Chains A and B, each alone.
Chain A
Amino acid sequence: MEKLTTLAEAVASIPSGSHVALPGFPITRCAMAFAREVIRQGIKGLTISSCVGAMDGDLLVGGGAVERMIYGGGSLDRFGRLNCVNRGIEDGSLQAEEYSSLSVAFRYLAGSLGLPFMPIKSLQGSDLLTRIQEHTGSDVAYIADPFTGEKWLVLKPLLPDVSVQLVHTADAEGNAWIMGPRWDNVEQAKASKRTIILAEHVVTTEAIRQQAERTVIPGILVSHVVEVPFSAHPTSVYREYDYDAKEIEKYVKATSTPESLKAYLDEYVYGVKDHWGYLEKIGGMKHLNTLKADPILGY
């Protein structure tokens, strides 16, 4: 099967109501081009998950694509809160199931290993646990360690329908390299039924073979590969490009009220045909060139 495709085709493979694991960490390697295309295609009712909520999830919530969110808290670092997520939690329109970073990571890890549950020391004695019990009823439980009799809190595995991974380099089979920290991305890909790879660079399989120790996501997990340069904009990709502070500030301001959010979506999501149109909109190659990372610094 030919996996190499367009962003529109890859996104169209996701039915409304799916569980999608998102790759971003607050303002870095967020699947922004993906989120904009999901909103343009009118996909609804998604469950989204990630260890830490980020700008990709916030935009999807703001764009009305999300019903449920499983995450460990999140922000846009110093730029501000996740305005759309927080508004959804505050007015009850978003079903948020809130954990800690490690508990979501362990749920993916259990899923990635095919295990039925994962014991964890986190969450005990906290209101996070009380709320998860109230909200989900069955995603956490207690068992006795069969060897020692000790009581353990256990978590249900997360098995997303699809994980979206924003990587530096991949080949047409989806063998993918991620530079820098990978947070929950590898466990997400391995726990999910399939993965969509958004690569800054698509290279030959021969190039992957030359440095195969860099491959963190094997192609067998991957259903679609799309070459989408600058797909994380306005967030950063380590060693590729820096975050775009002005555009993130614009987003934070726009998402502070439903009215200004609508104007933002009209301009940056619905107002452009595709990712290329978006890149032109924010200033094209001339502007993007100012964000390119220094090879030594990585930003």
Chain B
Amino acid sequence: MDFDYTPSELMATAGAREIKDREVVAVGLGLPVVASLLAKKTHAPNMTMLFELGVVDPEPIEPAVGLADPRVWYRAKVLSSFVDILGSILHKGRVDVGFLGGLETDQYGNLNTSLVGDPHGKFRHMVGSGGANDIASSAKRTILIIRHDARKLKKTISFVTSPGYVSGGDSRAKAGMSGGPSRVITDKAIFGFHPETKQMMVLSIHPGNTIEDVVGTMGFAPVVPKQVPFTEPPDKEQLRMIREVIDPQKMYMG
């Protein structure tokens, strides 16, 4: 089957659809920026976008190499600090949605951005938390965006940098946290979490994939409901926005 969109464009669109108008959204760089800007330029014009270092609602006109690139601060409404954004807005409970990416996640949506390998033996150290652990702890809900691969969707992850539903059931609440992951968006499917066990659950599969394609390339067995619909593909306007307005140089969507 031929599609007129790429898996990344579908993921960005699926991310954008999770954001409601007037919500406050904390984002890292990459696909989440595209998803957030897409939501803001389409159905959620009154949403607020936050970057941890102290940036609110920028309107970048050039692609950036990361959050430390002033290109992504351009035309911001606020330029302040960690205590201002992660403290007074996030820790206070004012962030509705946090977008997180990572190296690995498990069936409870716990996320690793710290290291690959054996933390007590031989390992390769990566980025670590940044604001990810803070967002995973205090946002009302989080959305994880990750490539669909058995090496990334694992039964046991090497390190829990940012907590999801910890060990399932009510363990997150017992650890003193509300919120938790609401969606996991991969390049093959969208997952939610079972209301009681908090195990990852298939919500929709992207057009062109079968349920076997989805489940067979994961390191754990997700909950699979009897009826699984296809993910709604991006519409023409969303694709135009991504390609012509948000990321014309394919910096994030390459």
B is a partner of A: yes
Question: A residues touching B (Cβ–Cβ < 8 Å)?
Answer: 25-28, 51-54, 71-75, 77-79, 81, 85-86, 89-90, 98-103, 105-106, 109, 120-128, 131, 151, 153, 180-187, 235-236, 238, 242-243, 293, 297-299
Contact residues in A for B65 (Cβ distance below 8 Å): 27, 77-79, 243
Q: Give 30 A-B contacts (CB < 8 Å), ordered by A residue.
A: A27-B68, A28-B69, A72-B129, A73-B127, A73-B128, A74-B127, A75-B66, A77-B29, A77-B66, A77-B67, A78-B66, A90-B125, A101-B82, A101-B129, A101-B130, A101-B134, A102-B134, A103-B134, A122-B134, A128-B161, A180-B73, A181-B54, A183-B82, A185-B81, A187-B81, A187-B82, A238-B70, A293-B70, A298-B70, A299-B69
Q: How far is the CB of A93 from chain B (nearest CB, A)?
A: 13
Q: How far is the CB of B196 from chain A (nearest CB, A)?
A: 19
Q: For B83, B86, B177, which residue has the most chain A Cβ atoms within 10 angstroms?
A: B83
Q: Are A184 and B81 in contact (CB under 8 A)?
A: yes
Q: How far is the CB of B2 from chain A (nearest CB, A)?
A: 31
Q: How far is the CB of B89 from chain A (nearest CB, A)?
A: 11
> How many A-B contacts at CB < 8 Å in the complex?
181
Please pick, from A90, A105, A128, A153, the residue contacting B133 in the complex, using a CB distance under 8 A: A128
Supposing A25-B53, A25-B68, A51-B82 touch, asked if A81 and B126 sit within 8 A by C-beta, the answer is: yes
Report the Cα distance A181→B87, complex, angstroms: 15
CB-based nearest B residue for A26 = B68
Q: For B67, B81, B129, B138, which residue has the most chain A Cβ atoms within 10 angstroms?
A: B129
Q: Are A121 and B176 in contact (CB under 8 A)?
A: yes
Report the Cα distance A26→B52, complex, angstroms: 13
Contact residues in B for A180 (Cβ distance below 8 Å): 70, 73, 79
Contact residues in A for B107 (Cβ distance below 8 Å): none
Q: Are A298 and B73 in contact (CB under 8 A)?
A: yes
Please list the 8 inter-chain residue pairs (A to B) with the smallest Cβ-Cβ separation, ordered nearest first: A73-B128, A77-B66, A181-B54, A100-B133, A125-B163, A125-B175, A26-B68, A299-B70
Taking the complex as formed, is B13 at the interface, i.e. its CB lies under 8 A from any CB of chain A? no
Report the Cα distance A48→B140, complex, angstroms: 33
Q: How far is the CB of B107 from chain A (nearest CB, A)?
A: 15
